[in-house]
Amino acid sequence: MKLSRFGERYTRHSGIVELMDDLGSALLGNPNMIMMGGGNPARIPAVEALFQRHLHTIINDPERCFAMLGRYQGPMGDEQVRSLLAGLLQAEYGWQVTAANIVVTNGSQSAFSILANMLAGEGSANQNQVIQFPLTPEYLGYTDTGLVENFFTATKPSIQLLADNMFKYRVDFENLTIADNVAALCVSRPTNPSGNVLTDEEVLKLDNLARTKAIPLILDVAYGLPFPGIQFTAANAYWSDNVIMLASLSKLGLPGLRSGFLIASEEMAKAFSCVNTILNLASGNTGAALATSLLRTGDLIRLGGAVLRPWYSQKAELAVTCLQAALGTVPFHIHKPEGAFFLWLWLPGLPITCVQLFEKLKAAGVLVIPGHTSFPGLQEPWQHTQQCIRISYAVDAQVLQKGLQMIGRVVQEVYANAG
């Protein structure tokens, strides 16, 4: 099979393909595998029942059902959902946005890929433009989205050690430099994989730094505010005319819809919609139709504060307590869980690589994510990248406790055997 350069690039080894393959194949090898690796949201009966009621209403209205299933929308997506969302953002946060600032997307992954390649890559002066992560680790799904090599750059964080074997990443502004070939800054908030939430001060400072370079700040809020609101700190939602926000319906409990929104300046929103139309013809209607229904009733925002945030916050507390107990006396630090639904475990002095630990855990019957894939763009060697794993706590409480106990046992055995 002869492939183009594009084909060769996207059929080779990829962290995100490996992740999705592991999720799909792990249960075939072990039907009792404890799945604590993927980004699937938890099954929450009250949330599923709410979605079913909304979908039932749509399907039983012939005109709404036809609009959802029977026709294409324009390049920017359904006008009604964009107007309703703009109204909510104006009322809730005072943002000066209209429907012209919002584009319906086929989910954050697809939207980021389009957006990043619009901004970075081969420039007009034959100099490659890059996307910079001002704080790493970052989402492993970004890693292979660039159409050219050396598409990303990243800055190591400062690490703040906290009580009870906890820690927190912070943007290291003293060592943050933005080169002339940087096309945009990008952060996820809350951050996947660590559950870190950049402070309001950090986000404002990043936006201001981006402005001085005449580049945008991309904010990926797939887990955060304004929805789904899986954020446990008091940090506020943030948007400006220099911010390109990527929002998603997936972590509400709708990953199968592959639907979300881009919120940006009118110029950027229009440009994105042109590229999206060329590549995808149109964005899907089902997510927009369900979001319209959720916006009309206020459920889109209510879900976060009333259901999702308390549910995941309680799971985070349980997970931290169980993991601390399971790890015993081995050296460890857990990133303070401030949002999303992952624990990020750092094992200083780990005598094997995180990939080897991942394999041992998989053999024992629990699937996690090795942390080395979560440092896209980091050029300098850093042992820390081989000492971390990501653990999802979006599972049943009994499964969570059993899985964390297994992780603790395997980690203790690794340290004991090395000693």
pLDDT of residue 315: 97
321 with 288, same domain: the answer is no
Whether residue 1 is predicted with pLDDT greater than 60 in this model: the reply is yes
Per residue in 32-42, pLDDT (tens digit) is 899 998 889 99
pLDDT of residue 155: 97
Q: Which residue has the higher pLDDT, 30 or 105?
A: 105
283 with 186, same domain: the answer is yes
* Residue 350: CATH number of its domain: 3.90.1150.10
Range of the domain at 365: 14-46+303-413
Mean of the per-residue pLDDT values of the chain? 94
pLDDT of residue 32: 84
- 170 inside domain: yes
142 with 266, same domain: the answer is yes
pLDDT of residue 31: 77
Per residue in 269-326, pLDDT (tens digit) is 999 999 999 999 999 999 999 999 999 999 999 999 999 999 999 999 999 999 999 9
223 with 343, same domain: the answer is no
- 7 inside domain: no
Q: What percent of the chain has pLDDT over 90?
A: 87
295 with 307, same domain: the answer is no
- 418 inside domain: no
Per residue in 357-411, pLDDT (tens digit) is 999 999 999 999 999 999 999 999 999 999 999 999 999 999 999 999 999 999 9
- 295 inside domain: yes
Whether residue 27 is predicted with pLDDT greater than 90 in this model: the reply is no
205 with 310, same domain: the answer is no
- The predicted model gives 107-117 an average pLDDT of 95
Whether residue 26 is predicted with pLDDT greater than 70 in this model: the reply is no
369 with 327, same domain: the answer is yes
- The predicted model gives 351-358 an average pLDDT of 96
* Residue 179: CATH number of its domain: 3.40.640.10
pLDDT of residue 127: 77
Per residue in 217-243, pLDDT (tens digit) is 999 999 999 999 999 999 999 999 999
Per residue in 138-148, pLDDT (tens digit) is 999 999 899 88
- 51 inside domain: no
CA distance 167 to 160: 6
pLDDT of residue 6: 81
254 with 164, same domain: the answer is yes
What residues contact 193, with CB distance under 8 A and at least 6 apart?
137, 139, 140, 342, 344, 369, 371, 374, 390
Indicate the length of the chain as a whole number: 419
Indicate the number of domains in the chain: 2
Q: Which residue has the higher pLDDT, 214 or 2?
A: 214
pLDDT of residue 149: 87
Task: Grade residue 5 by pLDDT with cuts at 50, 70 and 90.
Answer: confident
- 107 inside domain: yes
What residues contact 160, with CB distance under 8 A and at least 6 apart?
167, 168, 169, 170
Domain end marker among 299, 317, 346:
299
224 with 81, same domain: the answer is yes
311 with 291, same domain: the answer is no
Task: Grade residue 4 by pLDDT with cuts at 50, 70 and 90.
Answer: confident
Domain end marker among 275, 299, 323:
299
Look at residue 29 and give its three-state secondary structure: helix
- 386 inside domain: yes
- 135 inside domain: yes
pLDDT of residue 20: 63
235 with 117, same domain: the answer is yes
DSSP sequence for 111-180: HHHHHHHHHSEE-TTS-EEEEEESSSS--GGGTT--SSSS-EEE-PPEEEEETTTEEEEE--GGG----T
264 with 153, same domain: the answer is yes
pLDDT of residue 3: 82
Q: Among positive and negative, which fits the CA dihedral 105, 107, 112, 118?
A: negative
Task: Grade residue 30 by pLDDT with cuts at 50, 70 and 90.
Answer: confident
Domain end marker among 246, 269, 299:
299
pLDDT of residue 18: 65
CA distance 302 to 229: 9
Q: Which amino acid is at 15?
A: G
